[in-house]
């Protein structure tokens, strides 16, 4: 880690003139093990923070200027803005994420009193669905708290990040991504009830196996994907159910109650969307119980069932993710595999026995290239901690 810290400081000095008073920070990415498209339906999710994420070097300024530089988008060069101009714009590109967080602090009564220089380097594949945007948001909030002493918890940082993404960047995301990143704990996943933000940590003990993420390299933008469409389909289905069932969210239903009342949902497509939200929530609850009982095989089967539901009922997978998962299922030593994230591209997550990892990467990679025409990338990952200062 010392090497990366030194190279980040060196780059910061090159871009911003010197490194006086600059500090180095890190915020993780996240992967969701099970519980997809449940977070805005009042259900449970089960994500973990990763050991890959976003590195930042930041320092306070004595004026109102905001100067941003990303080593991932070097062609954009230095992007300048000001505390007097906290409005989103296409020209601001990725800097809309840190600007949105600075704006959100102000909206929450914590006006940021001075500008900053910020350099970022992410080793999360961009557009992969491992939450590079939420990682940048949590990192920015963490830096602001460190700089200005704002009285906010890590959970508050998650909520501020979500608020900025919803209101500033106009992406109607749930709380899961920011929460998993801000509240990450090494070797644990977070069993989170998105209805009331109650949560518990559950150890990820994969005896003789590892988490492997396969990145499809199909880029997707959340804002222009069908994410908001799925969300509104679920909201309409909920309103139809509420005519006869006293619930505040789809997450309150079990499978039996849903099946009894599914006829209230007038449209067959909306019925399938709601079915996924209800069944996926119950799968997530069962999956965490299985993990606690050391039944990793049952956990893997629930992951597989989750993918089938996302493919058939929620229709958010697509040929790239389906190919990665269906090829994974053919490999001996794969305990479970599913798409993760919003879908329409992005990544899959698999639990793979140690001795099968090389074969998994080789076979799934070759089949994917043959069918899709370009490579997938593979990452063997671990559950990591939340944001920190890198001393």
Residues with catalytic roles: 177
Closest C-alpha among 181, 182, 118 to residue 147: 118
Structure tokens at 125: 């594949």
- 26 burial level (CB within 10 Å; 0-12, 13-18, 19+): buried
Contacts (Cβ under 8 Å, ≥6 apart) of 114: 60, 61, 62, 63, 64, 83
Question: 359 in the Ramachandran plot: left (φ > 0), alpha (ψ -120 to 50) or beta?
Answer: alpha
The answer to whether residues 369 and 362 touch, using CB atoms and an 8 Å cutoff, is no
CA distance 221 to 142: 25
- Are 112 and 64 in contact by the 8 Å Cβ rule? The answer is no
- Look up tokens 């990338």; give the residue: 377
Alpha helices (runs of H) in the chain, residue ranges in sequence order: 2-16, 96-107, 132-148, 154-167, 176-182, 227-241, 255-261, 268-292, 296-312, 318-329, 357-372
Residue 117 near residue 61, CB atoms below 8 Å: yes
190: which residues sit within 8 A by CB, 6+ positions away? 45, 46, 47, 48, 179, 180, 183, 184, 199, 200, 201, 202
User: By the 8 A CB rule, do 63 and 331 touch?
Assistant: no
Q: What is d(CA 351, CA 212) in angstroms, rounded to the nearest whole number?
A: 6
Residues 6+ apart with CB under 8 A from 26: 53, 54, 55, 56, 139, 387, 388, 390
> Rounded to whole angstroms, how far apart are CA atoms 386 and 377?
24
């Amino acid at each position: 880690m010392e090497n990366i810290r030194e190279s980040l400081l060196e780059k910061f000095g090159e871009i911003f003139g010197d490194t006086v008073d600059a500090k180095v920070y890190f915020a993780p990415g996240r992967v969701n093990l099970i519980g997809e498209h449940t977070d805005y339906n009042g259900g449970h999710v089960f994500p973990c923070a990763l050991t890959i994420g976003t590195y930042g070097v930041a320092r306070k300024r004595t004026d109102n200027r905001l100067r941003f530089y990303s080593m991932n988008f070097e062609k954009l060069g230095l992007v300048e803005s000001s505390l007097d101009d906290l409005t989103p714009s296409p020209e601001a590109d990725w800097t809309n994420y840190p600007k949105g967080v600075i704006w959100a602090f102000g909206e929450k009564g914590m006006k940021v009193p001075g500008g900053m220089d910020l350099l970022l380097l992410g080793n999360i594949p961009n557009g992969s669905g491992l939450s590079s945007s939420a990682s940048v948001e949590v990192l920015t909030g963490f830096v602001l708290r460190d700089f200005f002493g704002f009285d906010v918890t890590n959970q508050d940082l998650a909520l501020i990040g979500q608020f900025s993404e919803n209101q500033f960047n106009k992406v109607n995301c749930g709380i899961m991504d920011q929460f998993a990143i801000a509240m990450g704990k090494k070797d644990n996943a977070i069993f989170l009830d998105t209805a009331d933000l109650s949560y518990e940590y559950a150890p990820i003990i994969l005896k003789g196996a590892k988490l492997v993420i396969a990145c499809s390299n199909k880029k997707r933008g959340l804002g222009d994907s069908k994410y908001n469409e799925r969300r509104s389909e679920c909201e309409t289905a909920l309103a139809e159910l509420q005519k006869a069932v006293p619930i505040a969210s789809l997450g309150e239903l079990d499978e039996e109650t849903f099946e009894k009342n599914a006829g209230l949902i007038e449209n067959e497509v909306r019925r399938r969307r709601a079915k996924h939200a209800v069944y996926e929530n119950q799968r997530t609850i069962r999956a965490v119980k299985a993990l606690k009982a050391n039944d990793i095989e049952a956990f893997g089967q629930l992951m597989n069932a989750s993918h089938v539901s996302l493919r058939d009922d929620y229709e958010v997978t697509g040929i790239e993710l389906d190919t990665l998962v269906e090829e994974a299922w053919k490999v001996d030593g794969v305990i479970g595999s599913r798409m993760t994230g919003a879908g329409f591209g992005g990544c899959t997550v698999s639990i793979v026995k140690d001795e099968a990892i090389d074969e998994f990467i080789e076979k799934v990679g070759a089949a994917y290239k043959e069918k899709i025409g370009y490579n997938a990338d593979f990452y063997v990952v671990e559950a990591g901690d939340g944001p920190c200062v890198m001393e």
